[in-house]
Every structure is written in structure tokens, then in C-alpha cells.
Chain A
Amino acid sequence: MDGLSPVLDGFAVVLEPENLLYCLIGVVIGMLIGVLPGLGPAATIAILLPLTFGLEPVTSIIMLAGIFYGAQYGGTITSVLLRLPGEASSVVTVFDGHALARQGRAGTALGIAAIGSFVGGTLSVVALTLVAPLVAGFALDFGPPEYTALALLGILLVATVSPGGRLKALVAAAAGLLLATVGRDDFTSAERFTFGSLSLADGLDFVPIAMGLFGLGEILYNLEERHRAAQAPAAINGVWPSRADLRQASGAIGRGGLLGFVLGILPGGGAVLSSLAAYALEKRRAKHPERFGRGAIEGVAAPETANNAAATSSFIPLLSLGIPANATMAVIFGALLIQGVTPGPQLVTEHPDLFWGVVNSMYIGNVLLLIMSLPLVGVFVRILRVRPAILAPITTLITLIGAYTVRNDVFDIGLVIFFGVLGYLMKKAAFDPGPLVLAFVLGSLLETSLRRSLLLFDGNPLLFLTRPISGTLLACLLVVILLPVARTVLARRPATPVNR
């Protein structure tokens, strides 16, 4: 029972009325901002981060969990109603979700998505509760060489599965690593790329970068998009799925949850991969696969359950290893750092209250998402009917004023604008900002670990291969690099006999 007591203590904190209220506020505003077309979970969390600054650490983390789940679901709403996925992991939901909406069953699609998200998320939190402390215990033996290999692998995997081209994702990641070097060197205190500015001496803050690249960059891009086709959301009727719908979707929800949890642990877009895999699995299992793409309820249930389960299980590498698995986790990583929580193997043993506070807030976030999403669907439809011309200045001003609250410094507003313009230009030039933010977050850890390792190895990098964990991780790194090359070579092969 001793092992259970920190978990139960965590629940006691999370269930305090004030914390519940902030979680509720988080879910609602997470959905309100996440429902705006183009703004995915990473952008939504980045924009809303300042709202959590003035709160107690546990309360702010609980509110953050609410924002996280609300923002995830916000993307689903736009997928179904507008055929605009909020993020890559909701792309497959568009196929059957919007088809259902065209048949006048948008409410059913959103209802099933909410229930699937709840089941997937909750199952995943239960598994996370059991698995994360074990992984953290294993990672306690990690030294600088292991962290070097792990951080490198994490960045490379995220770049590999990036929605843009692989090469451009690597450029973005390298730019993020370079930005992370701005400020005073941890080893020698030498100033790097500060150009004599005092505001840059402590390095670039993560929040203006995330707010600018994900939030403002997206708003500026949408400003241009606004002059293209304007869309009206599909009409909504009953949001409660019928018993027959639930029966039909139950298997897909179960399988999607399991698949999502397993794939979500993998660094680099587990949510995207799992939603695609869950959809493909259901289509393959179906007696009438031709229904898929034409409004099959399993086509919404499976990917939505899987992506929420994966989004939750991607907390495992973050909380137990201190390695964010994707861009959204990178934003959450930054948010936790601001609250004085450093995710990593020591968190569960040294700060069990915070660790279990973070984990248990996910249970509450999931429950509140289910309670709030269905009754509020009508409100979201009304928001989607508001013209983008009205929403754009409001979101921009929240971002600009919010940026000030990071360090009470006007310089940070300037940084947000700079990174907002950079985010816009990156989007125009087809560079995914996700690898940049992730590499920025991991940059300091990677450099410090690498330099410590080289000191340890007396400058011989081959000694990385002599340690079992760092050697294995570097072998995985090699596979990740060589696999696409091998795939390209194999793809060219069948062309030969045809040409003959």
C-alpha cells in the first residue's frame, strides 16, 4: 500500500475544488482556442501558457492538463465540421468524420470522438501510472553518454516523421539547436551570440519561441488563408450516439486505445502514426471496408481513441526520461520548467507530489473533457461561424500581452513577433516548426551531455559504443538514418523490369 499512497495523495490534491475549477476552465478555453482552424494543441497550449503563470505549481499543471485535452479535442471538432484537421493526428478523422457530418450526423461523430478520446486517454493514464515509475527507475542509471544518444535519437525521430520534407525538418532541428546555444555557456560562462544584449545573456526563453512559431506564425499564415475559400461548419443535431453506434464503435475504441498507447511511447509523432495505424486496422478488419471514407463510425472512433491514448502515453518519455516525444510535449516540457518542475527520472522519487499531481490531473482532464465537450458542441459551432477577421486580432492580442507576462519584459513581446514572422515564413517555405522547438528544448541537454561525455571519454567518441545503452541507442540512430535510404533504393528496383 505504501507505493499507492503518493498516488492517492496526488488525487486528494487534484480533487480540491479550486483545482477542479481551474481544470474545468483549462478544458473549456483549450477547446475554445483549439477549435480555431489551424491552431493545433501545440499552438493552443503555447498561446494560453501565460494564463497559468500566476497560479500555484500544482494548480497550473492541472489547468495545463485541461488545456491539453481541450485543445486535442478542439482539433477534432474542426476535422468533422470544417474538414480542417487541427493537427496531423486528426487528419484521418476527416475522412469519415466529415462524411458523417455531410449525412447530418456531425453530432454523432463528435460524440463518438469524445467518448473514444475519454476511453483512450483514461486507459493510457492508467498504464502510464504503472509504467512511468518503472521507466524512471531504469533511467536513473543513465549518464551523459546515454542522454546524448537519447536526445539525438529523439530529435532525429521527430525530424524523420515530420509532416514536411525530412531534409527541411533536419534544417529546422539544426536551427533549433543553434538557437539553444544563445546566452551564457554553462561550462565557461562565455557569452555566445548575445550581441552585447543583457536580455539575451540568460539565453532565449522557450515560451516566446513556442508562442511565436506555433501561435502567432499560424495566425499570420491564416490571415493570408482567409482570402481563400471561406467555409461554413456543418449543422449539428443530437450529440449523444445511439446504442447501436456505441456497439459498432466499441471494438474500434478498444483496439485503438491499445494501439495508441503502445505507439505513443515512441518518440516522434506517435499520435499521428497511431491514428493512421488504428484507421488502417479497422478498415482491414471490416466486413465491408468500402464503408470507410463514406461515414463509418469506426473510422472516427479508432483514430480518435488512438491519438488521445498516444498523446497521453507520450508523457512517459517526458516524465520518466525528461525527453519530449513531439512538439506538443516540448511545449508542455517548457511549461513544467516554468513551474519549477524538471521532468526526468528523479521527478518521481524526489518530487512525488508534483509527479503524481501531473499524472492525476490527466484523469481529471479526461473526465472534464467528456463532461464538457458534448454539451458545448453548439457553442463551438457558433465560434466557427465567427469570421476569422474578428478572431485574428483577439488571438494576436492574447499572444502579445501573454508574452509580456513571461518575464514582465517588453523584449519578450518583440521576440514573439520575431518568431511569429519566422513561423509564418517557415510555413510558407514548407519547414515544420515542430523539430525546431523540440531541438531547442533538447539543445542544452544534448550539448551538456555531449561535452561531459567527451570529457569522460578523453575525447574518444568511439567509447559511446562501448556502453550498452548508449551503444544500442546509437545503433537505433543508424537504423533511423539508413532505413529511408534503403527504402528509396528498394522503391527504385521494380522500375527495371518494366523498362526492359
Chain B
Amino acid sequence: MTAPVEADQPPVAGPGANLIIALIVVVLGVAGLAGSLRLDVGGPDAPGPGAWPAMVSTALIVLGLVLAARARRAGDAERFGRPGLLVLAAVGTMVAFVAVVGTIGFEIPTALLALVWLRLLGHESWRLSIALSLGVTVAFYALFVGALGVTIPHLF
């Protein structure tokens, strides 16, 4: 039952990365606890709005500390490598999309995002990238604006 389905396994992260992951969990818990304590925690007979988040944040801190203690033995996380830059670039295009969609409508950002992903990230040919990005924009306009009546900002 445990036969590997994927022979091509990604490289595993080291103990340092595992420790950082655990510390992020602890920091999240500490931040949550600090935010909860600023609210009214109340007592057991009348818990305030801060009580539940404080309990959950404490659990996060404890779990994060256990993760940190096991960081050396953990071998399930993947290492962040060069392909991660591709993801970073993709996220950049999406952030640009959300930044301008409210002012210039969705058509130009849609075409540009598709073009960048196809040509620069996917290494498709210029001809295919341009044709597909225009085709996708027209199809999405027909689907979302035409057929579904979505009120997303649009130029036309």
C-alpha cells in the first residue's frame, strides 16, 4: 500500500528550514495570543471575545514548539529552489492584476497575465502566446460578462 506513486521526488528541506517553519508557527501563535489578550478574555463562566482566540493561539505556540523540537528529524518538507522563482514571478503578475483591475477593467490585465505566463513562464511561442491570450480574454468576456452577468470592472 505504500508503493510510491511518484518516482520523481522533490529535494527534501534541511533541519534549518524545518526550524524556520516551526518558528513561523510559534510567531503566529504569539501574535494571536498578544492580539487576544488585548481583547476582553473574561472568565470561565463568561468567556470574553479574546478567550477562544487566546486558547487557539496557545495551542499554536505549543504545537510550534513541538515542531521545533522535532525539526532535526523531520524530512517531509520540500526545499525551496530555483523553480520557486517562477512561482514568485507568477505571484507578481497576479498582484499587478489585482492592483489595476479596479481602474482599467479586467480585459487588458487578463490578456497581459496570460501572455506573461504563456511566453515568459511557459516558454510557448510568441504567436501561440498572443493568439491564446487574446482568445482567453474574449472567451472570459463572453462567459463572465455576457453569459453570467458578473459585474467585474470591464472596458467594453
Q: Which residues of A approach B to under 8 Å, CB–CB?
A: 50-51, 53-54, 83-85, 91-92, 94-95, 164-165, 167-168, 170-171, 174-175, 177-178, 181, 185, 187-188, 190, 192-193, 220-221, 223-224, 227-229, 276, 279-280, 293, 387-390, 392-394, 396-398, 400-401, 404-405, 408, 410, 413-414, 417, 420-421, 424, 428-430, 447, 450-451, 454-455, 458-461
Contact = CB atoms under 8 A, between A and B. Distances in A.
Given A190-B39, A280-B1, A393-B133, 13 more contacts: A170-B59, A171-B63, A175-B60, A190-B49, A228-B8, A229-B8, A389-B121, A389-B123, A393-B118, A408-B150, A413-B98, A413-B101, A460-B44
A459 B46 contact: yes
A179 to B, nearest CB: 10
Contact of A192 (B6, B29, B39, B106): B39
Contacts of B70: 167
Given A91-B5, A392-B122, A451 B152 contact: no
B102 interface: yes
> Closest 5 A-B residue pairs measured CB to CB?
A389-B122, A459-B45, A459-B44, A393-B117, A430-B76
Given A393-B118, A429-B21, A410 B98 contact: yes
A164 B76 contact: yes
B105 to A, nearest CB: 12
B98 A396 contact: no
Contacts of B74: 165
A99 to B, nearest CB: 11
A454 B44 contact: yes
A325 to B, nearest CB: 22
A408 B124 CA distance: 33
**In the complex, which range does the number of interface residues on chain B fall in?**
35 or more
Nearest to A393: B117
A424 B87 contact: yes
A396 B117 contact: yes
Interface string B1-40: 1010110101001000000010001001100100110011
A10 to B, nearest CB: 26
Contact of A171 (B35, B60, B83, B106): B60
B49 A390 contact: no
A373 to B, nearest CB: 22
B53 A171 contact: no
A167 B67 contact: yes
13 contacts: A165-B74, A167-B66, A168-B76, A228-B8, A276-B1, A390-B122, A393-B133, A400-B94, A429-B77, A454-B47, A459-B44, A459-B45, A460-B44
A319 to B, nearest CB: 27
B44 A188 contact: no
B1 A174 contact: no
A430 B78 contact: yes
Interface of B: 1, 3, 5-6, 8, 10, 13, 21, 25, 28-29, 32, 35-36, 39-40, 43-53, 56-57, 59-60, 63-64, 66-67, 70, 74, 76-78, 80, 83-84, 86-87, 90-91, 94-95, 97-98, 101-102, 106, 110, 113-114, 117-118, 121-124, 132-133, 136, 140, 144, 148-153
B44 A178 contact: no
B32 A178 contact: yes
B133 to A, nearest CB: 8
B52 A447 contact: yes
Nearest to B81: A224
A221 B98 CA distance: 20
Contact of A417 (B39, B52, B94): B94
A280 B50 CA distance: 48
Nearest to B82: A227
Nearest to A171: B63
B87 A223 contact: yes
Given A178-B56, A428-B77, A459 B43 contact: yes
Q: Which of B13, B114, B151: most chain A Cβ within 10 A?
A: B114
Q: Which of A84, A185, A221, A420: most chain B Cβ within 10 A?
A: A185
Contacts of A224: 83-84, 86-87
A450 B55 CA distance: 12
A33 B67 CA distance: 35
Contacts of A401: 106, 110, 140, 144, 150, 152
A177 B90 CA distance: 29
A167 B106 CA distance: 42
Contact of B117 (A94, A164, A392, A414): A392
A414 B99 CA distance: 9
A342 B67 CA distance: 37
Q: Which of A95, A181, A221: most chain B Cβ within 10 A?
A: A181
